[in-house]
Structure formats: structure tokens, C-alpha cells
């Protein structure tokens, strides 16, 4: 399937069921050709919900008067161990842009990353927001495998409306610099935040241009107390089509089927659209939050490896092994994207 920008726009806007089903079938075929029936699993530790920024879409924006937490290194290590024992392939350490870490040059976070890699043997992804080149270098030297930082959109005017007082080029630079330091990078979009089909097509091209090894899309989920709290969450068909288009454009890419948008109930559709990484697996009853769905399906234990595996098996798929995942990201690191 030759995907030009025009074809991408046509597929994003089509209401023809046959054409839509053919798109998803092609995405599943491409995924199977690349990965067989194996799916990867990421554990998620949102370890600090303090943030210096005021993104209009985000629950954790600094102006929101909410309960916030900052987990201790001991708690983060315990949570990571629990996730590792449950069978995840990677630990994703995510934070708001918490100034307390910036002020100590991330020494605490760097030591946590080293300890997680030592004690669990798992790869680590860091999602710290924008940090300095020196801090990115330090993450790479600490053995961090991934740097995740999402532009949300590559339409600069829309970016400015979403990520208030943040610089588009500074955010893009941080990602590209992380890649230069040898880390794999993840790029991400949100759907339903005011973008049009041409914007999405442009973003899909940008993801390839910058050499992202993992690419994601999440439907916008309105957050109480935020400027966008009355913006309707989009029809999920758009997110599913974008996942399928990412798969066809980038057969080798890791593509999240995040549990953070619609909980465990959202997994099947995202896998059927061509995604291959179950992300936002959160240990139950640990006081950890999600991002878009800060509590949905967390404490009742629905966002777990066990629950995800049941759904994967019903689809004729299975979790990969930790070794398969590490071998694959080793191959990605060798690709000159």
C-alpha cells in the first residue's frame, strides 16, 4: 500500500467500512510479517506529578489545584521490581517537569536508573520532558535506553496553543540530541486537539524524518480543571486509523497500544489496528497515576500483564520474552534511522 500524503488524508477521512477494514487488515499483515505473533509489554512508573508547565490538555499542569506526589527512590525501585516480576519488558520512568530534579541535575533519577537496570536487568525509558543537553548526555551515560518526548503535533501554531510557553524547536532538539547520544527516541501525537488531516499526515512524515524508533498516538482525554476540560474526546476511529498508518509507514516501529486512554477495554482495538506494545501497565494499589486516565483500571488490577495477556491470547497473540525484546531494541539501535 503506497502511502502518499494525499492517500493518508483520504484514509483518515474515509467513512467506507470496506476501505477501513482493509487498512486495519494491511496493518495487521505488516505487523505479523515483522513481529510474528509477539507483543511487547511496558511497565509505567509515573514517579512525580509535580510540573513547571501549564499544558492546556494536562491534568498535572502547574495551575491545576490537585493532589500531587513524588515517589521516593526506594518506592520507585520497589515498584519497578514489582513490574519486572509481573513480566514487563521495560520500565518507563515518567515525570512532570519537576523542578526539584532539575535543581539537582537529576542525580537522584540517574541513580534510580542505574539501580533499576542492575536489579531488574530491564531496559529503561525516561520521559522527563525537556531537559538540557548535559542532562541528556548524563541519561545516556547512565545506560538509559529510550528518551520519550512527544511533540503532540508538528503544526507550530497548534503546538503553541497546547504547550503554553514552551518552545517547539527546543523540544524537538532534545529528542534529536538524545538520538545523537545513542538513545532510542519515541515521538508522539495526540488526536482530537484541533489538528486536521493534513496536520496528521505531516506528523506521520516527521516521525520518519527524525528517525523515531517508537511512534504513538493517544486520543485526547479532557481533564477536570484544565482549559480544555470541555473539549470533547474524539471518536476513537481516528486514533485507530493513525496507528494503522504508522504501522504501514514504519513496519519495524514499536507502536504503543496504550492502556492510558480507555483502560484495558481499549487494548483489543489498538492491537487490531496494528499496535504492538502494551504500555501504561501500572501496579495496582500502589498510588501511582496514569496520565490521560489517572486512575481508570489502576487499583482494581486491570492494567496488568495478566489482564493484557488474556486479551492478547484471545487474539491469537502472545507476550514476547524479555530476551526477544532486548534483542529487538539492540537491532533498532544498530539501524541508522
- How far apart, in whole angstroms, are the C-alpha atoms of residue 337 and residue 332? 8
Site string for ligand SAM, 143-172 (x = CB under 6 A): ------xx-x--------------------
Exposure b/e, 60-81, CB count within 10 A at least 16 = b: bbeebeeeeebbeeebbbebbb
Q: Which does 223 bind (CB under 5 to 8 A by kind): ligand MD0, ligand SF4, ligand SAM, none?
A: ligand SAM
Binding mask of the shown chain, residues 222 to 251, with x at each position contacting ligand SAM by CB under 6 A: -x----------------------------
What letter would DSSP give residue 4?
A: -
- The 122-151 site mask, x for binding ligand MD0 (CB under 6 A), equals ---x-x--------------------x---
End-to-end Cα, the chain, rounded Å = 21
Does an H or E element contain 44, and which? strand 38-48
Choices 81-89, 216-224, 244-252, 277-285 (CB under 6 A): range interacting with ligand SAM:
216-224
Nearer to ligand SF4, 260 or 307 (CB): 260
Question: 67 Cβ partners below 8 Å, 6+ apart?
Answer: none
Choosing among ligand MD0, ligand SF4, ligand SAM, none, which partner's interface includes residue 146 (Cβ < 5 to 8 Å by kind)?
Answer: none
Helix axes 5-13, 197-209, angle to 10 degrees: 130
Instruction: Kindly state the smallest distance separating residue 48's Cβ from ligand SF4, in Å.
Output: 9
- Distance from chain centroid for Cα 173: 18
C-alpha 31/C-alpha 250 separation (Å) is 10
Residues of this chain that interact with ligand SF4 (CB under 6 A) are 51, 53, 55, 58, 60-61, 96-97, 129
In degrees to the nearest 10, what's the CA dihedral of 200, 181, 135, 116? 90
Which of 21/287 has CB closer to ligand MD0? 287
- Name the residues that contact ligand SAM, by CB under 6 A: 57-58, 94, 96-97, 127, 129, 149-150, 152, 188, 190, 218, 220-221, 223, 291-292
- Name the residues that contact ligand MD0, by CB under 6 A: 44, 92, 94, 125, 127, 148, 256, 258, 260, 279-280, 290-291
Amino acid at each position: 500500500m503506497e502511502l502518499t500524503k494525499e492517500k493518508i488524508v483520504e484514509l483518515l477521512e474515509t467513512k467506507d467500512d470496506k476501505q477501513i477494514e482493509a487498512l486495519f487488515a494491511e496493518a495487521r499483515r505488516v505487523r505479523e510479517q515483522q513481529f510474528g505473533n509477539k507483543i511487547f509489554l511496558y511497565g509505567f512508573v509515573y514517579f512525580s506529578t509535580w510540573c513547571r508547565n501549564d499544558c492546556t490538555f494536562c491534568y498535572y499542569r502547574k495551575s491545576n489545584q490537585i493532589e500531587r506526589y513524588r515517589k521516593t527512590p526506594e518506592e520507585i525501585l520497589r515498584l519497578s521490581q514489582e513490574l519486572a516480576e509481573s513480566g514487563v519488558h521495560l520500565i518507563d520512568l515518567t515525570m512532570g517537569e519537576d523542578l526539584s530534579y532539575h535543581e539537582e541535575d537529576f542525580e537522584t533519577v540517574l541513580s534510580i536508573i542505574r539501580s533499576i537496570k542492575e536489579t531488574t536487568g530491564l531496559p529503561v525509558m525516561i520521559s522527563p520532558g525537556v531537559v538540557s543537553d548535559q542532562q541528556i548526555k548524563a541519561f545516556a551515560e547512565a545506560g538509559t535506553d529510550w528518551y520519550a518526548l512527544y511533540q503532540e503535533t508538528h503544526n507550530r501554531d497548534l503546538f503553541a496553543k497546547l504547550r503554553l510557553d514552551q518552545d517547539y524547536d527546543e523540544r524537538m532538539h532534545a529528542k534529536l540530541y538524545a538520538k545523537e547520544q545513542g538513545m532510542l527516541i519515541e515521538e508522539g501525537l495526540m488526536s482530537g486537539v484541533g489538528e486536521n488531516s493534513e496536520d496528521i499526515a505531516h506528523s506521520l512524515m516527521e516521525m520518519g524524518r527524525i528517525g523515531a524508533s517508537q511512534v504513538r498516538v493517544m486520543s485526547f482525554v479532557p481533564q477536570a480543571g484544565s482549559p480544555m476540560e470541555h473539549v470533547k474526546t474524539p471518536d476513537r476511529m481516528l486514533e485507530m486509523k493513525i496507528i494503522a498508518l504508522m504501522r504501514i509507514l514504519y513496519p519495524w516501529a514499536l507502536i504503543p497500544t496504550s492502556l492510558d486512554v480507555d483502560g484495558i477495554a481499549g487494548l483489543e482495538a489498538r492491537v487490531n489496528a496494528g499496535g504492538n506494545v502494551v504500555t501504561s501497565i501500572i501496579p495496582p494499589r500502589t498510588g501511582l497515576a496514569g496520565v490521560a486516565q489517572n486512575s481508570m483500571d489502576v487499583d482494581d488490577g486491570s492494567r496488568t500483564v495478566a489482564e493484557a495477556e488474556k486479551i492478547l491470547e484471545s487474539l491469537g497473540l502472545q507476550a514476547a520474552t524479555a530476551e526477544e525484546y532486548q534483542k529487538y531494541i539492540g537491532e533498532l539501535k544498530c539501524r541508522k534511522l
